[in-house]
Amino acid sequence: MEAHEGTLIIDLALVTGVAAVTAMIARRLGQPSILGYLLAGLIVGPYIPIPLFADPERMAALAEVGVVLVMFAVGLEFRIRRLAEILPVSGLTAIVQIGALAWAGHTVGSVLGWSSAASISLGATLAISSTMVVSAVLRAQPVDADVRAHVFGILVVQDLVAIVLMAVVTTLASGQELGLQSIGRLVGELGVVVLGMLVLGLLVLPRLVRLAIRRFDSEVLVVLVVGAAFGLASVAELFGYSVALGAFIAGMAVAESGRGEQVEHAIESLRSLFAAIFFVSIGMTVDPTMAWQSMPLALGLSAVVIAAQFVSVTSASMLTGSSLRRSVFSGLALGQIGELSFILATIGIGGGVLPEETLPALVTVATVTAFTTPFLLGRAQLVVDGLDRLIPDRVQDFLSAYQTFARRSRGDSDERPLRRSVVAVLLDWTVLLLIYVTHHALGRSLAANHLIILSVGAVLLAAPFLVGLVRSGRRMASQARELARGDGSNDGPWARAVEAVALLTVVLSVGVPTVAIVQPLLAGPWAQALVVAALVVVLVLVGLRFRAVKPGYTSEVAQLAFRLADQLGPAAGDTGQAPHFDPLSGLDYEPLPVEASSGACGSTLAELNLRCKTGATVVAISRGDASVPFPTGHERLQAGDLVALSGSDDALERARALLAAPADSSAPPAAALSEAAT
């Protein structure tokens, strides 16, 4: 080991050489290169007696370079307008996901007999996914553009929340009570720093990038943008925040130049090199002996992370209008913990809150989930196929229609009252939580008679906000129903079903974070179980409400499908143009002809697996004088058929590619789908 002290060149030679060999072996075995990098870290790390050793501290420093470059590249994909479009959906999904994982982590800690502070800290470490792992996996296993945007939108929100969680864990580690004033000040400071860096970047970087591209070569461009990434990363670190935050903002600012794709191509090799070093450094932290000793805890936590991420992200995504395909792919892509989890765990262990065996267990969890993420994501389509077979067709039809409705509503000017109701729900919910946490903090040091007075005052203060929360939630659901009604001609079961789903979304997005925050403050398992039971009861009641309108909704949609099938008939075809329909207010159904040259001719919808592969739903088929509403999947498509498709823009684009793939093409329809996704 001493022979290598101070020799960065030898360290880099060992790391890159071993990583290249292990990555090639992994790719030859059909596995992503990230697994090879983790194995390389084990080989060159300090814990395995192999005569190859790289200094862990130097590799950790170089790994920070990888974090900066990867987060900068992620920021290049998000112009401000694009981020504003996806955050309402991704942000709401992230809130539910973080709440669910924090709740699950606290529950595991309680089962293990840990203190409340330790359980809270464990929940915080499990709530944040790894941007580095997700970025590497999605680069090796490309997914649809809408899935990628949704996943990274969730990761952006996670990284911002992680900063607040660091303050919470630091407070717990110092033995102090959670102070609302300190947390509020932290959130305010974070907002000011983010806004300041964003304004600074937008004023300078877009002009400089365009100038560098116009007048200089790619060498100057790379030096400029990498310098900008490290510059804003150092500003973020100066204020006590993660370098990843500054690098991401730098990427967003550069993307506003309109040359983001060109910049990403220029730094691709540099990013790939240091990203590989990052994963090697993670592998170097794994002590096989400690990992084996903590294996039961690590495997249990890995199962909790994968399952809770999948359930929370998939369900929340679908309720916010994502397709089954996008929801499932996103849920499986986020099933891991990452670099910020280690920071949170280190803070907790340093303050004596978390047991010392937590860190090796979390390193093992990170390694295990880094292995399972590409494995599960590669089988995401099988999961989609399985769920598609389990979910009844009528529910699938509703989900497809609701997805289209949600997409169109987000761009509707009539949605402004709905947005105001959402803001009102969030404000009322925030005030209620502040009242509860304040009551809990003050009540611990009061005598019984004073505590009664405090409790009465808290109830009186909270009552109007609780009433406001209920009213705002109901008003939000009613406004969603109004959007579904459109001009008022459709106030049937469809509109009531939309109202029920909107109400379910409110309950889930407010209830799950509330349980995650309130549960650690409650004394005893019975009180905690009561809160969880209350949430379950409310969810069941809302579900029963949807079930009550489902028969009428099914009948209504069937009638509309028949009407649409009639419109797709010969009379519509005489114009020579594919007509546009609006059979349900706020919904689009796009008619698409099946050409004689299409490889889909002679295949059934079930054989094409169109809904699972694309996310689009065939609502009706027209063939000559015959019309088929809600096909069962056994109908064979023929040349000249006109099919009505429902779904998001990306889903419709994939469906067009699938149906347009020529029969004599050497590339199968799946290849056409891949081209459409890119």
User: Residues 2-44: pLDDT tens digits?
Assistant: 444 658 888 899 999 999 999 899 888 877 788 888 889 889 8
pLDDT of residue 136: 82
Question: Percentage of the chain surpassing pLDDT 90?
Answer: 9
Nearest to 364 by CA among 125, 77, 590, 674: 125
Domain annotation covers residue 315? yes
For 581-593, how does the pLDDT look when each residue is reduced to its tens digit (9 = 90+)? 444 444 456 777 7
Domain annotation covers residue 580? no
* Structural contact between residues 374 and 32, judged by C-beta atoms closer than 8 angstroms: yes
* Structural contact between residues 673 and 658, judged by C-beta atoms closer than 8 angstroms: yes
Banded pLDDT at 410 (limits 50, 70, 90): low
What CA–CA distance (Å, rounded) separates 235 from 233? Answer: 5
For residues 38 and 120, membership in a common domain is answered with: yes
Residues in the chain: 678
For residues 546 and 596, membership in a common domain is answered with: no
Name residue 177's amino acid: E
pLDDT of residue 425: 76
- Report whether pLDDT(671) > 70: no
For 63-80, how does the pLDDT look when each residue is reduced to its tens digit (9 = 90+)? 888 888 888 988 887 788
Minimum mean pLDDT among 131-135, 143-147, 282-286, 416-420: which range?
A: 416-420
Banded pLDDT at 243 (limits 50, 70, 90): confident
For residues 416 and 385, membership in a common domain is answered with: no
Q: Which of the listed residues 366, 390, 414 is the one where a domain comes to its end? A: 390
CATH number at residue 154: 1.20.1530.20
Q: 546: domain range?
A: 405-566
SS3 603: coil
For residues 227 and 367, membership in a common domain is answered with: yes
Q: Which of the listed residues 364, 390, 416 is the one where a domain comes to its end? A: 390
For 466-500, how does the pLDDT look when each residue is reduced to its tens digit (9 = 90+)? 787 777 777 777 767 676 665 555 555 666 667 77
Helix (H) or strand (E) holding 590: strand 590-593
**Percent helix, strand, coil in the chain (nearest 5)?**
75, 5, 20
Domain annotation covers residue 398? no
What CA–CA distance (Å, rounded) separates 667 from 437? Answer: 60
For 542-581, how does the pLDDT look when each residue is reduced to its tens digit (9 = 90+)? 566 555 555 544 554 555 555 555 555 554 444 444 444 4
For residues 467 and 559, membership in a common domain is answered with: yes
Mean pLDDT over all residues of the chain? 77
CA-to-CA dists, residue 580 to 231, 321, 645, angstroms: 51, 22, 11
pLDDT of residue 333: 93
For residues 176 and 296, membership in a common domain is answered with: yes
pLDDT of residue 314: 92
For residues 339 and 192, membership in a common domain is answered with: yes
Domain annotation covers residue 396? no
For residues 372 and 513, membership in a common domain is answered with: no
For residues 630 and 499, membership in a common domain is answered with: no
pLDDT of residue 357: 79
Q: For residue 145, what are its two tokens?
A: 């553009």
Domain annotation covers residue 64? yes
* No. of helices (H) and no. of strands (E), the chain: 27, 4
pLDDT of residue 503: 72
Once rounded to an integer, what is the mean pLDDT over residues 369-377? 89
pLDDT of residue 191: 80
Banded pLDDT at 219 (limits 50, 70, 90): confident
For 177-190, how does the pLDDT look when each residue is reduced to its tens digit (9 = 90+)? 555 556 667 777 77
* Structural contact between residues 404 and 588, judged by C-beta atoms closer than 8 angstroms: yes
Distance of CA 661 to the CA centre of its chain: 31
For 510-523, how does the pLDDT look when each residue is reduced to its tens digit (9 = 90+)? 777 776 666 665 55
Domain annotation covers residue 366? yes
Name residue 646's amino acid: S
Q: According to the per-residue pLDDT averaged within each range, which of 106-115, 506-515, 658-667 is highest?
A: 106-115
- Structural domain count of the chain: 3
91, with CB counted inside 10 A (0-12, 13-18, 19+), is middle
SS3 629: strand
Domain annotation covers residue 573? no
Q: For residue 373, what are its two tokens?
A: 């993420």
For residues 384 and 414, membership in a common domain is answered with: no
Domain annotation covers residue 574? no
123 vs 456, more confident: 123
For residues 131 and 56, membership in a common domain is answered with: yes
For 306-331, how does the pLDDT look when each residue is reduced to its tens digit (9 = 90+)? 999 999 999 888 888 788 888 999 99
pLDDT of residue 576: 45
CATH number at residue 646: 3.30.70.1450
Alpha helix (H) residue ranges in 568-648: 570-573, 605-608, 610-614
Q: Which of the listed residues 360, 390, 420 is the one where a domain comes to its end? A: 390
Question: Percentage of the chain surpassing pLDDT 70?
Answer: 73
The pTM of the full predicted model, rounded to 2 decimals, is: 0.74
pLDDT of residue 572: 45
pLDDT of residue 28: 84
pLDDT of residue 75: 85
Q: For residue 650, what are its two tokens?
A: 């990306």
pLDDT of residue 493: 61
What CA–CA distance (Å, rounded) separates 296 from 108? Answer: 13
For residues 365 and 508, membership in a common domain is answered with: no
Once rounded to an integer, what is the mean pLDDT over residues 412-423? 62
* Structural contact between residues 333 and 373, judged by C-beta atoms closer than 8 angstroms: yes
What CA–CA distance (Å, rounded) separates 624 from 644? Answer: 15
